[in-house]
Every structure is written in C-alpha cells, then in structure tokens.
C-alpha cells in the first residue's frame, strides 16, 4: 500500500507542474517536397536537429531485408566533400552528440549540439542526403559489422530471437513480419547496386522530414535550411506500401530451442494503430496491465503468485500500420511456460469480464500524462515527439493526445479487451532452453 501511495504521489506531483505554454511551431514545405517543423526553445543554448526519412523495413522487398538498416550504417561513410567518418568527427569536436536508428517505419538521424554550431550540421545533412559515397569496399566491410550486430542482438539473444520468430508467424502478408535488421541470408547477398538504388529511391527531399527544437530564431533557421536543402531536386515519390494483413483465422504457435537460462513466453495480438478510435483505450490498457510495479501483470504474476521473474507488455501507438499488442514473461526457476501462458491469458480474461477499478484507471491516465509532461523537458524529446505525430497524421495531433487519454472509460477498456484479444487470434511464441 505504501508503494502504491508513493506511485500516485509521484504522478500527482508531475501533473501539478503546469505544462509549458504551447510554443508556436513554424512549419513549411519546400518546393522540392521537404517538410520542415521548427520549435523555438530558449531555455538553454542547444539545438536538436533531426532528419526523419519515411523508410524502414516495411519498405523492403522479400530477398532484400535489412537494407534500410544497412543504409543507415552507410550514411556515416562520407561524401566527396566530407570524407569517411567526418560527420561524427565534426559533431564530436564541437561538443555535440549524434546517432541514428532504423525501425519498421522510419530511419532517423539526430544531432544535439550547441546552437552556434548548427550551421555545420545543416551542411553535413544536406550533403549526405544526395551525395553519399557508397563504395563497394566499404559496403563489404560494413556487411560484417551489420551481421555481427544481428548475431549479438538476435541470434545470440533469446528474447530478440523469440520476438523475431513470433512476428514472423503473426504476419503472413504485411512486411512487419520481416526483422528490421534483416534475415541473415539476405544480409549476405545484398549488393552495392541494391543499396544505391534504395538510397536513390528513398533518400529524397519529398520523403524526408526535418524537425528542430532549441535555441534559434525559426525564420532565420528556415532560411538556412531552404538554402542548403532547396537545391536538391525532387524525385519521384517512393512506391507506397500497399500490403494489408488479413484477419487472423486461428491461433498460431512457434516453439524454439536456444541456449538460455530460462524459458520465455511471448503472446501477441493484432491491434489497430493510432488512427483507430480505440487507440487511446489500448494505450491506457497497456498501462493498466504492464506499467510499473503497481500494474496487474507485475502484482499478480511476479509479486503475488511468484510465477514470473519478469513480465510485461507493449502497445505500438505510433506504428504506421496496424501492429501487435505484446505480452511477455520469463518464469521463475521451477515454473513452466505453460503455467505462465495460462496466467497471462487469465489476466486478459479478467479484463474482459470486469471493468478495471477507478484507482487503476486514474493511475494509468496519470502515468501517460506525466510522461507527456516530462517529454517537454528536453529539446531532443520535444523534436522527436513532433516528428512522430507528424508521421502518423500531423504534428497537431500531439495536442489531442492527453484529452483523448483522459476521456477513456473503464467500460471502453473492457470492450477493447474483448474485441482485440480473442482466443482464436493469439500468436504464442515459446523458447525452451537447451539442456
């Protein structure tokens, strides 16, 4: 009870801090199709400059999986103007930090740096958008790096491997079934010509989004961006992803045996993304089930019954296409995967039959709103959040997020549990440790 009270007090304290007044976002679309969002934030003399390309593993074709992530690596290999490794070197020498990631839906590059060094970042990003060096020898060398990354994060990681196998059975038509890092057999045979074609198709201004937040004057920064990126010609729009996952007709299972200390159980259900009316309720439901020590899965499976060493769940609110609602658990030594699966399904059955308590509902909403407030505390997270909402339909959707969360009712949670967690729609992955 003391722990629960502490959680509620923390959430209440977060909400007691007034949210920042809505700062004006300066938006523009250049003649070549490049989308720009700028948010002034003068609390500290830093800027987060982010490039988001609307391309990820969902844009890959069978036989060439992993190419989006491979290209992310190659984006740091230089141009005729700025040689190999110079991008990261310039950022580091000026006290900044840079990184990148590839997901199913996007590839994102960011630089967080002092405001007076921003001009160099703009020049570097504009240069590698259209002048990237894709040397075959560099591709051969980087291939080994990518394959080693796959080995450590997937092949030799029980959680990563089981998640990949479960996704592969959950989707039969949509490219979300493909791992972001790619299948090993594809990584071994991707050619320089394929990578170059992928780059020329997707790394075009009309498929990109620039978002910056920090200590600048928006009108001046927009002019600099226009001067640097405006001359890059618009190219044909990349081909759209048209695949639609058919309704799942029955339960699917996969069991794998790997070197591991304990079994792992994954359960996944197909759910809609943020565009659906039920998305806020699914987000709240995820909090009720798996957010923190007061959540149902933690209290019941880990604390009370001591069935699980670890357990949780996840809902992909920002997914571009309908995705999966995940549950996972690792049993305590001596417990079986079957017992853990039954316990997880029991939690879902309870949600289907009885509305959650007012205390649980309020806590979940407070957690989501507190998270939204805390994300306004950093120029990096402010820019990132603007980008994510822009990609799913428009940055102004950000202002609708908390009101929609606050409007969710206990009856809605019961409804979405019955709608999206049917017995015939589950995908179950089980990992059995090698003896």
One domain for residues 220 and 261? no
Domain shared by 274 and 412, yes or no: yes
Catalytic site includes residue 369 = no
Which of 165, 200, 229 terminates a domain? The answer is 229
Whether 278 and 192 share a structural domain:
no
In a domain? residue 1: no
In a domain, 157, yes or no: yes
Rounded to the nearest 5 degrees, what angle is found at the Cα of 139, between the Cα atoms of 135 and 141?
Answer: 115
Yes or no: say if 46 and 379 are a contact pair by the CB < 8 Å rule. yes
Please report whether residue 16 resides in a domain: no
- Give me the number of domains the chain comprises: 2
C-alpha 411/C-alpha 97 separation (Å) is 46
For the chain, what is the mean pLDDT? Answer: 92
Regions of the chain with pLDDT less than 70: 1-22
- Strands in 22-94 per DSSP E: 25-29, 35-40, 46-53
- Does 263 lie in the same domain as 219? no
Q: In the prediction, which pLDDT does 11 show? A: 41
Q: How far apart are CA 344 and CA 355, in angstroms?
A: 17
In whole angstroms, what is the distance from residue 150 CA to residue 180 CA?
Answer: 10
36 pairs with which residues across the strands?
28, 210
DSSP 384: H
Same domain flag for 366 and 312: yes
The CATH number that applies at residue 346 is 3.30.830.10
- Residue 292 sits in which domain range? 248-433
Residues 129 and 26 in one domain: yes
| Structural domain contains residue 156 | yes
Taking only the tens place, the pLDDT of each residue in 36-83 is: 999 999 999 999 999 999 999 999 999 999 999 999 999 999 999 988
Catalytic residue among 72, 142, 165, 390: 72
Q: Let me know whether 57 and 192 are in one domain.
A: yes
pLDDT given at position 22: 55
Q: Are 279 and 416 in a shared domain?
A: yes
Does 187 share its domain with 293? Answer: no
- Residue 20: the pLDDT is 45
pLDDT at residue 15 in the model: 38
286 in the same domain as 153: no
* 422 and 295 inside one domain: yes
Cα angle value 69/71/73 (rounded, 5°): 80
Pairwise CA distance, residues 32 & 375, whole Å: 31
Per-residue tokens: 180: 């972001």
Answer yes or no: do 283 and 215 share one domain: no
237 in any annotated domain: no
The C-alpha atoms of residue 221 and residue 47 are separated, in whole angstroms, by 11
Asked if residue 235 belongs to a domain, the reply is no
């Amino acid at each position: 009870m003391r722990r629960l009270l502490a959680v509620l007090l923390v959430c209440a304290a977060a909400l007691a801090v007034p949210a920042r007044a809505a700062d004006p976002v300066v938006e523009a679309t250049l003649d070549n199709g490049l989308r720009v969002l700028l948010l002034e934030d003068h609390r500290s003399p830093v800027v987060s400059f982010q490039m988001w390309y609307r391309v990820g593993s969902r844009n890959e074709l069978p036989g060439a999986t992993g190419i989006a992530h491979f290209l992310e690596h190659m984006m740091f290999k230089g141009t005729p103007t700025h040689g190999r490794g110079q991008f990261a070197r310039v950022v580091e020498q000026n006290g900044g930090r840079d990184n990148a990631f590839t997901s199913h839906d996007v590839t994102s590059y960011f630089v967080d740096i002092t405001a007076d060094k921003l001009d160099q970042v703009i020049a570097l990003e504009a240069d590698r958008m259209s002048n990237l060096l894709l040397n075959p020898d560099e591709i051969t060398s980087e291939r080994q790096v990518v394959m080693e990354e796959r080995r450590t994060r997937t092949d030799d990681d029980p959680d990563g491997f089981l998640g990949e196998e479960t996704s592969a059975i959950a989707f039969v038509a949509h490219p979300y079934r493909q791992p972001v890092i790619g299948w090993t057999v594809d990584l071994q045979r991707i050619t320089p010509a394929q990578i170059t074609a992928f780059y020329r198709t997707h790394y075009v201004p009309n498929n990109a989004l620039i978002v910056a937040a920090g200590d600048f004057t928006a009108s001046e920064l927009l002019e600099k961006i226009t001067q640097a990126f405006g001359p890059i010609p618009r190219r044909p729009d990349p081909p759209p992803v048209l695949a639609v996952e058919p309704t799942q007709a029955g339960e699917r299972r996969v069991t794998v045996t790997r070197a591991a200390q304990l079994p792992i159980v994954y359960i996944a259900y197909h759910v809609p993304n943020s565009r659906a009316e039920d998305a806020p309720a699914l987000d709240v439901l995820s909090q009720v089930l798996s957010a923190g020590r007061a959540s149902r899965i933690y209290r019941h499976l880990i604390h009370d019954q001591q069935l699980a060493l670890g357990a949780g769940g996840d809902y992909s609110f920002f997914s571009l296409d309908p995705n999966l609602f995940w549950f996972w658990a690792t049993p305590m030594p001596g417990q079986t995967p079957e017992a853990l699966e039954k316990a997880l399904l029991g939690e879902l059955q309870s949600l289907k039959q009885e509305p959650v308590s007012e205390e649980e509902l309020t806590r979940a909403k407070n957690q989501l709103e507190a998270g939204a407030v805390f994300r306004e505390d950093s120029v990096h997270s402010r820019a990132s959040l603007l980008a994510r909402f822009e990609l799913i339909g428009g940055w102004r959707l950000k202002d609708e997020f908390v009101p929609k969360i606050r409007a969710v009712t206990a009856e809605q949670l019961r409804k979405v549990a019955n709608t999206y967690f049917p017995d015939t729609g589950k995908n179950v992955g089980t990992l059995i440790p090698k003896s």
